[in-house]
Amino acid sequence: MLNVQRWRRILIAVLPFVAACGSGLKTHAPVVTPSSPPVVASTSAQPSPAVAQHVPPAAVDDPVITLIATSERHFQAGQKELEQGHVDRAKAEFNRAVDVLLESPYGARTEPRIREHFDRLVDRISTYEVRALAAGDGFTEKKYEPASIDELLSVSTTFGTPAARPALKDVVAADLLNVSHDVSIPLNQRVLAYIEMFQGRLHDFIEEGMKRGSKYLPMIQNVFRAEGLPLDLAYVPLVESAFKPNALSRVSAKGVWQFMAGTAAENGLRRDWYIDERSDPEKATVAAAKYLKTLSKLFNGDWHLALASYNGGPGRLQRAMSKSGKDDFWALAEKPKILPRETREYVPMILAAIVIARNPAQYGFDFETESPHTYDKVALPRAVDLRRVAEWTDRSIDEIQALNPELRRWTTPVKYIDYQLKVPSGTGDIVLAKLAGAPAADLASLTYYTVKRGETLALIARKLRVGRADLAEANDIPATAHVAAGQKLIVPHEATVLMAARTDRTVPVADSRTTVAQSGQLAEAAATSPRIKTTYEVKPGDTLTSIAKLFRTTVASIKSWNPRLPGNHVTSGQRLTVYRLTN
C-alpha cells in the first residue's frame, strides 16, 4: 500500500482540477428546490440547448500516479511470492517494480513524487533482502507448536475436572455395549470426568484434533494392525499432540507421538542438526508401535500400566509398584506420593479420548475427515533449499514443509546420500528435471569457512559467534573433533549474518537510498550514506522503535544486525550491534 501522506499530497495536487470540474457541472445543472413537486416532462418537450449540448470533460489520467500504481502492484506481487517461499519469483517482481520507474520517461529521480516512491521502494525491497540474507541459507530452525498434553494438563489444573452428569454414565455404558474396544474402559468417575470435559470446555479443541488426526489414522491403524497392537491406541496422539507433527512439549518431547530424544533413539528414530524423525508421523508411528510392544511385555499386557509408563517412564512406574506393593494403575493413582499428577491424569484422559474418538457423533462431535497426504518421493543427490522445490512445483513453502515435517530447516541434509524428499503427487518428474539442469550453487545457499592453521573447533565457533555444538552438528562431526588446516566447514546461518556485519564498511542495503545500478538484480544499491559499526547499550525506556529513530534506520535493520534478539522487546543494559551514519 502507498504511504498515506503521499496520497494526501497527490490529492492536494489534483484538488484544483476536481474543483474546477465540479464548478463547471454546477453551472449547467438546473437548480431544484427540495420542496418543489417533481415535474414530469411531456414526450414532446425538448431539453434546453445548454443541457442537451453539454458534454462533461473527460477525466485526464495522471501518468505519474499510474506509473507509481504499476510499480506498487509489482511490489505487492513480490510480497505475496515471498510469503509463499518463492524467492526467485519475488526477486523478479521486485526488480520489475524498480524497472518500470527506471524505464519511464521521467526516470527514477527527476519527478518529485516518483523520487519519493522510488526511495521508499528501494528501502522496502532492501529490508526484504536483509531478511532473506538472515534466512537465505535455510539454516534457521522452523518454529514448533505447543504440545496438547501440556495444554490439557494446564486446563485440568486451572479449572479442575468437572463432575460427570449422572446421565453420562448410562450413555457411556450403552456406547461400550455397541462399540467393541481392545483396551478396557472402566466406567469410573475419573474417565467420565474427562469425557465430560472433552464434551464441554474442550469440545472445539478435541474436535479439531480428531479432524486433523483423520488423515493419519489409516496409516497408524495399518502399522498397529501389522504389529498386533490394539487399534484403540491409535488415538493416543489426540491427547499427546492433537496429531500435530511439529508439537513440542515443555520437556522437549516432540512430534505426533511426543517422543523424548533418548526414547526416540532407542526405537530407531534419527535426530541431527538437519532432521528430527520424531516429527515424521510415519516413522514415529513405527517407532511408537515398537515402544508400545516393549511396554506391553514389560507390564504383562496391562495397557493401563503400559500407558502410564509411556507417560512417566517404565522405571518410575516399576519403582512405584515396588514401593506400594500394588500392580493396578487405579490403585497406584489413589496415592499422590507414589505417582506424579501428570501420570495419574494421563491414563483416564487417554481412555476418555478413545471413547469419544471411536464414536464422535454419540458425544456431540461433527467434522469432515481429511484425506491423507499424497506425494512422490525424489532421491536428492545433494542438499536443496526447500524454497527452490516450492517454486519448481508451484506450491508454497508451507506445503513442502508439511510433506516433510522431519526437516528442521529449509534445507535438506548436506551429508545424506540420496535423501528421499517428499514432493506433491505428480511433481516428482518435474523436480528431477529441475535438479538435473540446475547448477549446484543454485540448489542451496551454503556458506563455508576454511580452517586456518592452529584453529580448533571451539576457537572457530567463538570467531564466528556460533555455538560449538551447532557448528559441529551442521558438519556432522563431534563437538570435540580435531579440525585440520584447509578443511571446509559449513557455517550455520547465525554466523552468516554476523560475518557480513563484522566489517566496518557499509551496512546491509536496508538503509541505502540510491538508484538500482542494474536491471535483474535485487536492489543492488551503493549506499549514499555509509555507516560504521558500533555498540549501543539500551537505556531505561528505550524501545526498538526509539533506537531505530536515534540511528535513522529501521527496526527490521536492527533485528537483522542482532539475529539473536528475542522478539521485539529490549531491556535496559542490553547491548545491541548498530550501524551509525558517518555524516
Instruction: Quote the number of domains for the chain.
Output: 5
Is 431 in the same domain as 479? no
> Is 38 contained in some domain?
no
% the chain with pLDDT above 70: 77
Q: For the purposes of burial, counting CB atoms within 10 Å of the CB of 503, is it exposed (0-12), middle (13-18) or buried (19 or more)?
A: exposed
pLDDT surpassing 60 at residue 192:
yes
Question: Which residue type is seen at 464?
Answer: L
The answer to whether 212 touches 370, Cβ cutoff 8 Å, is: yes
Look at residues 372, 241, 219 and name the one whose alpha carbon lies nearest to residue 286: 219
Query: 456: which 3 cell numbers?
Result: 580448533
* Mean pLDDT comparison of 97-111, 194-208, 382-396, highest-scoring range: 194-208
Domain co-membership, 324 together with 432:
no
Say if residue 331 is in the same domain as residue 395.
Answer: no
DSSP 182: S
What average pLDDT score do residues 155-159 get?
69
Domain assignment present for residue 495? The answer is: no
Angle at CA of residue 198, ends 217 and 173, nearest 5°: 85
Which of 5-19, 133-147, 358-372 is the least confident region? 5-19
CA distance 94 to 82: 10
pLDDT at 25 over 60: no
The predicted structure's pLDDT at residue 188: 94
* pLDDT winner (highest mean) among 58-72, 117-131, 229-243: 229-243
Instruction: Identify the DSSP state of 481.
Output: -
Residues 474 and 421 in one domain: no
| H or E element in which residue 531 lies | strand 531-537
Using CB atoms within 10 A of its CB, is residue 345 exposed (0-12), middle (13-18) or buried (19+)?
Answer: buried
Q: Are 247 and 254 in contact (CB under 8 A)?
A: yes
Are residue 453 and residue 519 in the same domain, yes or no? no
Three-state helix/strand/coil letters over 419-479: EEEEEECCCHHHHHHHHHHCCHHHHCCCCEEECCCCCCHHHHHHHHCCCHHHHHHHCCCCC
Backbone angles phi, psi at 29, to 5 degrees: -85, 140
For residue 418, count other CB atoms closer than 10 A to its CB.
10
Cβ(508)–Cβ(126) below 8 Å: yes
User: What values do phi and psi take at 341, rounded to 5?
Assistant: -60, -40
DSSP string, 496-528: HHHHHHSSSSPPPGGG--S--SSTTSSS----S
What is d(CA 250, CA 525) in angstroms, rounded to the nearest whole number? 45
Residues 109 and 190 reside in one and the same domain: no
Q: Helix (H, G, I), strand (E, B), or coil: what is residue 55?
A: coil
Statement to judge: residues 204 and 280 lie in one domain: yes
For residue 516 the three cell numbers come to 538500482
Query: Which pLDDT score is estimated for 497?
Result: 37
Angle at 342 between CA 205 and CA 224, to 5 degrees: 65
Bridge pairing between strands 448-450 and 419-424 = unpaired
Cell numbers that stand for 261 in this block: 530424544
Cβ–Cβ < 8 Å for 516, 102: yes
**CB contact at 8 A, 82 and 53:** no
| pLDDT of amino acid 51 | 44
pLDDT higher than threshold 90 for residue 345:
yes
Least confident of 113-127, 172-186, 458-472: 113-127
Tell me the per-residue pLDDT of 269-286, one tens digit each, with 9 for 90 and over. Answer: 999 888 999 999 999 999
3-state secondary structure of 548: helix
With respect to residue 475, please indicate whether it lies within any of the assigned structural domains: yes
Within 55-147, residue ranges assigned H as helices are 63-83, 87-102, 112-135
DSSP class of 363: G
- The proportion of the chain whose per-residue pLDDT surpasses 90, expressed as a percent, equals 42
Residues 173, 152, single domain; the answer is: yes
pLDDT at site 87: 66
For the residues 83-92, what does the mean pLDDT come to?
72
Q: Which residue has the higher pLDDT, 240 or 124?
A: 240
**Structural domain includes residue 127:** yes
For the chain, what is the radius of gyration of the CA atoms? 32
Please tell me the predicted confidence (pLDDT) of residue 518.
31
131: pLDDT confidence band, cut at 50, 70 and 90?
low
H/E segment holding residue 580? strand 575-581
Residue 12 above 60 pLDDT?
Answer: no
Where does a domain end: 135, 165, 183?
Answer: 135
Among 117-121, 206-210, 445-449, the least confident range: 445-449
How far apart are the C-alpha atoms of 297 and 300, rounded to whole Å?
5
Least confident piece of the model among 285-294, 357-366, 435-444: 435-444
Last residue of a domain, one of 339, 363, 387: 363
pLDDT value at position 389?
92
Half-sphere exposure of 571 (CA within 13 A, CB side): 4
Q: Which of the residue ranges 6-10, 206-210, 439-443 has the most confident prediction, judged by mean pLDDT?
A: 206-210
Q: What is the pLDDT of residue 277?
A: 97
**DSSP 8-state secondary structure symbol assigned to residue 221:** H
Least confident window among 16-25, 110-119, 142-151: 16-25
> Is residue 175 domain-shared with residue 51, that is, in the same domain?
no
- Do 325 and 228 share a structural domain? yes
Query: What region does 258 belong to: left with phi over 0, alpha with psi -120 to 50, or beta?
Result: left
Residues annotated as catalytic (active site), given as ranges: 240
pLDDT band at 510 (very low <50, low <70, confident <90, very high): very low
In DSSP terms, 533 is beta-bridged to: 579
> 145 in helix, strand or coil?
strand
Q: Which helix (H) or strand (E) segment is 17 a member of?
A: helix 4-28
CB 547 within 8 A of CB 558: yes
Question: What are the two backbone dihedrals, phi and then psi, of residue 556, each rounded to the nearest 5 degrees?
Answer: -60, -40
Q: What is the pLDDT of residue 463?
A: 85
Rounded distance, CA 413 to CA 409, Å? 9
540's CB contacts (< 8 A; 6+ apart) are 572
C-alpha cell at 51: 443541457
How confident is the model at residue 47, as a pLDDT?
Answer: 44
274/328 same-domain check: yes
Amino acid at 376: D
What grid cell was written down for 583?
A: 555524516
For residue 398, what pLDDT is reported?
87
Structure-model confidence comparison of residues 482 and 6, the more confident one: 482
Residue 40 lies in a domain: no
Query: Which residues form the domain of 13?
Result: 4-33+46-135
Short-list 244, 220, 556, CA closest to 402: 244
Q: Do both 460 and 554 map to the same domain?
A: no
- Is 41 part of any domain? no
pLDDT at residue 48, rounded to an integer: 44
pLDDT of residue 517: 30
Q: Grid coordinates representing 218? A: 489409516
Per the domain annotation, does 258 fall within a domain?
yes
DSSP state of 279: G
Instruction: Outline where 359-413 has alpha helix (H).
Output: 386-393, 397-403
Q: Please report whether residue 368 resides in a domain.
A: no
The overall average pLDDT reported for the chain is 79
Alpha carbon of 151 to those of 306, 328, 448: distances in Å? 23, 27, 42
Listed residues 387, 415, 443: the one ending a domain: 443
CATH assignment at residue 486: 3.10.350.10
Tell me: pLDDT of 84 over 70.
Answer: no
pLDDT score at 178 = 94
CATH number at residue 228: 1.10.530.10
**Averaged pLDDT, 377-382:** 92
Q: Say whether pLDDT at 97 is over 60.
A: yes
H/E stretch holding 21 reads helix 4-28
Secondary structure letter of residue 572 according to DSSP: T
